[in-house]
């Protein structure tokens, strides 16, 4: 599976996998169900509420046609690259160079959506491309990434982090999952006789890895804080 590097608000980089085709199709179908329900509900409301056919047509264009046409563009602009279907499937639009997509990029991929939908052309391009890009993404310099892997990280490390957690070490994301798991193991391993030596050695390695000494913090506190910061920063990336 291809990866893309996304820059966080703390100016550090987190790796994300490109969303698989199954997730994108499921998100597309969910969005289709939402749009279909919107059309059906408003159609019956207009038929029952207005005896004037011209008024019904005019109102229908405004409350049915416009939301239907602009649904994906409005959602991606207001929901950080996600539609409702994408949000449920935990995927989102991102720039291939790791930055936040600009309005023009969202607009370009939206304009090319009808072309991608022509006989499933977009799906074919995604399968061939290998980076999760349909024609609209290729033109806009975007792709669709998966947020699932990082959202499951706190469960893997069994580290509880509150949603309001205040990050002390944004550099913690310079670590990888294996290093974070090793920190957790050292902190939990209370049976060995040289535990404190292991903690000190691990703290020294982490200080060098993240480039922050954690001035004034004891080694155990430093490691716990770094671990929580790592889980929060990588796990919450998709929720900004």
pLDDT tens, position by position, 167-214: 999 999 888 877 888 888 888 876 666 778 888 999 999 999 999 998
**What is the helix (H) or strand (E) element at residue 182, kind and residue range?**
helix 177-188
Strands (E) across the chain are located at 3-7, 13-17, 91-95, 142-146
Which among 24, 31, 112, 104 has a CA at the least distance from the CA of 68? 31
In the predicted model, residues of the chain with pLDDT beneath 70 are 1-15, 50-53, 55-56, 98, 149-160, 190-193, 236-240
State the first-to-last Cα distance of the chain, in angstroms, to the nearest integer: 24
Total-model pTM: 0.62
How do the residues of the chain divide into helix, strand and coil, expressed in percent and rounded to 5? Answer: 65, 10, 25
């Amino acid at each position: 599976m291809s990866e893309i590097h996304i820059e966080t608000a703390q100016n550090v980089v987190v790796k994300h996998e490109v969303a698989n085709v199954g997730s994108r199709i499921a998100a597309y179908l969910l969005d289709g169900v939402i749009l279909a329900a919107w059309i059906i509900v408003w159609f019956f409301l207009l038929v029952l509420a207005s005896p004037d056919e011209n008024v019904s047509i005019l109102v229908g264009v405004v409350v049915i046609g416009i939301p239907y046409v602009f649904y994906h563009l409005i959602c991606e602009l207001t929901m950080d690259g996600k539609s409702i279907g994408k949000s449920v499937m935990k995927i989102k639009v991102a720039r291939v160079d790791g930055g936040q997509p600009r309005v023009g990029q969202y607009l370009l991929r939206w304009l090319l959506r009808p072309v991608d939908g022509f006989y499933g052309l977009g799906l074919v391009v995604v399968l061939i491309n290998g980076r999760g890009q349909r024609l609209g993404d290729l033109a806009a310099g975007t792709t669709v990434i998966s947020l699932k892997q990082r959202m499951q990280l706190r469960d893997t490390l069994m580290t509880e982090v509150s949603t309001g957690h205040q990050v002390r070490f944004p550099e913690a994301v310079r670590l990888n999952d294996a290093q974070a798991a090793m920190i957790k193991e050292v902190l939990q391993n209370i049976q060995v006789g040289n535990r404190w030596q292991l903690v000190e050695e691990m703290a020294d390695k982490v200080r060098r890895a993240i480039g922050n000494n954690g001035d004034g913090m004891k080694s155990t506190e430093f490691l716990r804080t770094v671990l929580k910061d790592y889980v929060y920063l990588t796990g919450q990336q998709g929720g900004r």
